[in-house]
Amino acid sequence: MTDIRAAITGVGGYVPDYILTNKELETMVETTDEWITSRTGIKERRILKGENKGVSVMGIEAVKDMLAKTHVDPKEIDLLIFATVTADMTFPATANIVASSIGAVNAFSYDISAACSGFLFALTTGASFIESGMYKKIVIVGGDKMSAIMDYTDRTTCIIFGDGAGCVLLEPTTEDVGVMDSILKSDGSGESYLHMKAGGSRIPASHQTVESRQHYVYQEGSAVFKFAVTNMAEVSAQLAERNNLKPDDIAWLVPHQANKRIIDAAASRVGITEDKVMMNIERYGNTTAGTIPLLLWDYEKQLKKGDNLILAAFGGGFTWGAVYVKWAYNG
Ligand code: UT7
């Protein structure tokens, strides 16, 4: 165990103004507010409207929000990592666009692609750089513009996803707070259940790929659901056990917001009650890499120094994991 830990010292977030309600979805696909609410817990999601607006727009706003609250000079930022599967372009990295735009002129920056687990993978990567002593200020952004890759004729998928981005600032501390432990996993055999077929180097974009709707998310929902329920719950419980965290020791479970039934299963496996589970799925839906930092953003005021948080996610890849964070400041 190193003497230096990576503390989360600030949080920022951004969701677009446009609200896509279940009622509006009822006019787009054959569905009902009752079905969506009872099967997923989602009532509405945010959509980034307008021409030529990529996920960077939301990432920039989220980082600006964090910088305004923490009074950090962007020139002091050493590294910015952006977790996303809806990058502005295949290259360059969206992290580069965000870093330049916010004036992080001394930072290097890159993207991480791990779907719904992207924020946890990026957070752990950033924490390791801090713990090694290499860098002092690292921004971790998680966000996705899922509406850009959503087939709004596919009722099994379009009802879940939304747009949004959040971020945290990591700084070194010698106190007993920060990123304490993590378990991260991936399994490439999950590819067949959740992916976007075309637009990469295997199947580049063509008239044919557009006509056959291959630039949208393909998801076999019920298969993904089964993997998600088991793995997100299991990894959260393992992490709690190996850190000797009993249910009473855990202040908050911070679960990826894909489906309320998956969240409930994880909470029950860890043994904690609903009042200690962060939740905003009803307002934002599934923003992929955005869900966990957006939860921290929404709940920041309720957090107290020393609170034990278990962050947990499951998503495309498959990728999944849990991170144990001891909160570093009073919200
Ligand atoms: O975050 C990344 C990882 N993704 C996830 O974790 C998502 C995991 N999966 C899910 O959350 C759920 O599987 C869904 C919400 C996507 C779907 O819920 P489900 O309970 O698994 O439904 P299903 O796909 O098994 O479909 C059950 C029925 C089907 O009808 P039949 O064949 O029984 O007649 C569907 O056609 O529900 C129907 N259905 C709908 N009905 C009304 C599917 N989508 C809808 C809809 N409205 N939007």
Side-chain half-sphere CA neighbours of 189 within 13 A: 2
- Report how far residue 207's alpha carbon sits from residue 226's, in angstroms, rounded to the nearest whole number: 35
CA dihedral 110, 115, 116, 119 (to 10 degrees): -10
Q: Are strands 5-14 and 163-173 parallel, antiparallel or unpaired?
A: antiparallel
- pLDDT, tens only, 36-53: 999 999 999 999 999 999
Give domain limits for the chain. 5-176, 180-326
- pLDDT, tens only, 182-234: 999 999 999 999 999 999 999 999 999 999 999 999 999 999 999 999 999 99
- Our answer to whether residue 167 is catalytic in this structure is no
- Report how far residue 84's alpha carbon sits from residue 58's, in angstroms, rounded to the nearest whole number: 12
- pLDDT, tens only, 269-322: 999 999 999 999 999 999 999 999 999 999 999 999 999 999 999 999 999 999
Q: How far is CA 104 from CA 67, 171, 176, in A?
A: 11, 16, 29
What residues contact 207, with CB distance under 8 A and at least 6 apart? none
Tell me the pLDDT band of 111, cut-offs 50, 70 and 90.
very high
Tell me the pLDDT band of 108, cut-offs 50, 70 and 90.
very high
**Residue 104: what pLDDT?**
98
Please return the burial class of 27, using the count of CB atoms within 10 Å of its CB with bins 0-12, 13-18 and 19+: exposed
Distance (Å) from CA 184 to ligand 1 centroid:
27
**Residue 50: what pLDDT?**
96
Distance (Å) from CA 243 to ligand 1 centroid:
35
- Ligand 1, CB cutoff 6 Å, lining residues: 31, 35-36, 39-40, 116, 155-156, 159-160, 221-222, 224-225, 228, 258-259, 262, 286, 315-316
Q: What is 5-176's CATH topology? A: Peroxisomal Thiolase; Chain A, domain 1 (3.40.47)
- Report how far residue 239's alpha carbon sits from residue 242's, in angstroms, rounded to the nearest whole number: 5
- Our answer to whether residue 256 is catalytic in this structure is yes
Catalytic residue among 22, 116, 167, 231: 116
Minimal-distance CA residue to ligand 1 atom 47: 31
Q: Which of 176, 219, 253 is nearest to 85 (CA)?
A: 219
How far is C-alpha 273 from the geometric centre of its chain's CA atoms? 22
Which CATH code for domain 180-326? 3.40.47.10
**Residue 2: what pLDDT?**
53
Distance (Å) from CA 260 to ligand 1 centroid:
13
Q: What percent of the chain has pLDDT over 70?
A: 99
- Cα dihedral sign, 312-17-59-317: positive
- pLDDT, tens only, 59-99: 999 999 999 999 999 999 999 999 999 999 999 999 999 99
Strand partners, 47: 18
- pLDDT, tens only, 180-192: 999 999 999 999 9
Please return the burial class of 57, using the count of CB atoms within 10 Å of its CB with bins 0-12, 13-18 and 19+: buried
Tell me the pLDDT band of 1, cut-offs 50, 70 and 90.
low
- Our answer to whether residue 116 is catalytic in this structure is yes
Per-residue buried b or exposed e for 90-129, using 16+ beta carbons within 10 Å of the residue's own CB: eeebbbbbbbeebebeebebbbbbbbbbbbbbbbbbbbeb
- Report how far residue 122's alpha carbon sits from residue 222's, in angstroms, rounded to the nearest whole number: 27
**Residue 197: what pLDDT?**
97
- Report how far residue 119's alpha carbon sits from residue 136's, in angstroms, rounded to the nearest whole number: 19
